[in-house]
Structure 1
């Protein structure tokens, strides 16, 4: 069972938006929280999108291969523990820290699923399938679990494909399966490359538009609440007496 947050997704986005005008310390004091939490939300939103800020009520499943891969990659990176963890889809650095300790003590284990849990097995995919999966993954805030359920592939497959794509500088050809160094049946032309890059770029732009639209909607709701509370304050009539101000319902 996941830990329940006292802040909803809309509240988190609203708080993040407030820090654009004032410091995180002032916003934290207003809401009675730690400024570090706000900065962590900012980084989660930056690396994982809106989906990363959603409150989850269950634990994700990670294989021992995935854990080992992340530990090795972190040892070779220049990132801080927290930034590296957030960039790779984790909610905080304590998970990765625990895996590093277990790895160094040779105690790293995979999560053992219960009957109600399920881990999607991997399957063979074509280059076009992988291209489509990454295209839709980008549109859905890099939600690996969504892609697993939608396309019936393993978490590790989706994660590995996206990491290859990002590390290649967003080159679609990084999604090719080059095991055995088999040549593609069809020649990959420059036009094909441009078309693939255009598909993935459109997906990134769409995701950005959705995030901006969502943030704008949250601000509109917040502004209506502020204006509504101010319009309910008592006002004076011509005789100087206080009378309630009534809003009309539309």
Structure 2
């Protein structure tokens, strides 16, 4: 009957419990149903996913408290981002723990960890707006020369476009004959 009850909370499972349940199943010490009842696992699917995870060579980890609601983005410095990533990695990628300790969003912590793993601490640098080159201060004469050059390029483009359209018309006219 417990399997029919609706769950309204996120169940936490320790790493040891997961390993013991998977070990018992792989050693033939019970069926999925028996072991979910024995260890108080919410459903067969949960145990099946642990077994799949374990047999694919991945390490089982304790279940965190689940996702948090999105927090309003807050500005962080480079050093704060490095500290948050180091905390998360030191605690076996406990994103939720970092969210609670530092007051940043889950998605942001996850993103920083991924960037750190890919590019190191350089991945945590804030590069927003750095791709745009600011225009150097030009004298009025230099600005006029720049405008003339842009207009000449535009005229050249329009002349080329006009020539192509004339050739297209000529081809259409030949095909009508």
- Relative to the length of structure 1, the TM-score reads 0.37
